Amino acid sequence: MINKKYELLKDKTVLYVEDDLTLQKNIVETLEHFFKKVLIASDGDDAYSLYIENQNRIDLIITDINMPNTDGITFAKSIREFDKKLPIIIISAYTNTDYLLDSIDLNIIKYITKPFTTKKIITLLDKLLDYFELNNYIIINKNIKLNYNNKELIVNTDRIKLTQKEATFMKLLAQNSIVTYEMMYEYMWDYDKSPSADAIKSFIRKFKKKIPLDMIKNQHSVGYYLNI
């Protein structure tokens, strides 16, 4: 029953950063019940590397403040250089006012004090549910938006149903100036080896039939970009 309520979170990937390995293990076991994937780091340096490797996959960051090497606030500042909107949750053993003010400046969506209990996790999940429901749409321009969770592209008043692969492609196009072939292979195909050039062309040909004419363009030998 509880998983049903939080079904919206089941396609989300979370990056969880915590240097207390015992706490980390316990929290990860809980988070894995609700999220598609939990990436784990033990300090801000490792977390930053994981973010760079997976930035088009990560939907949420939960990070402790007090960690060796790079602390949680510095890590969050680094993330904001790339992404102003990615939801970040801060966890701390202290209610330090300076940290709180820094968190406000960084657009932190929730600040949780330790201990990070099951009750606090449920409260957090409710907050995230509200957040993702309110931010379910990716605005492409004033006339076009993508409802990624519902796999639907809305163009003016028309609603275009998408496959999972098409929705992922549109999300990549909306979030990147160009979607390279390498990005398509990595995020859209789960094969051990890259799909053939014919498979890519077939996908694009079918997708173009669904969407407004010339909405996406090809950059030869590189990939695709939005033409809007």
User: How far is 124 from 110, CA to CA, in rounded Å?
Assistant: 8
Confidence class for position 95, pLDDT limits 50, 70, 90? low
Q: Please state the rounded mean pLDDT for residues 55-78.
A: 90
Per DSSP, the chain holds a count of helices (H) and strands (E) of 9, 12
| pLDDT on residue 150 | 82
Q: Is the pLDDT of residue 1 over 50?
A: no
User: How far is 72 from 86, CA to CA, in rounded Å?
Assistant: 15
> Which of 76-80, 168-172, 211-215 shows the lowest mean pLDDT across its residues?
211-215
For residue 172, how many C-alpha atoms fall within 13 Å in the half-sphere facing its CB? 24
More confident residue, 183 or 8: 183
Confidence class for position 102, pLDDT limits 50, 70, 90? low
User: How far is 226 from 127, CA to CA, in rounded Å?
Assistant: 33
| pLDDT on residue 203 | 95
Q: Nearest 5°: CA angle at 82, between 78 and 83?
A: 105
Average pLDDT, rounded, for the chain? 86
Distances (CA, A) of 103 to 83, 165, 182, 189: 15, 35, 35, 37
Amino acid in position 111: Y
Q: Which structural domains are found in the chain, ordered by start?
A: 2-134 (3.40.50.2300), 137-226 (1.10.10.10)
Pairing of strands 88-92, 110-113: parallel
Best mean pLDDT range from 111-115, 188-192, 204-208: 204-208
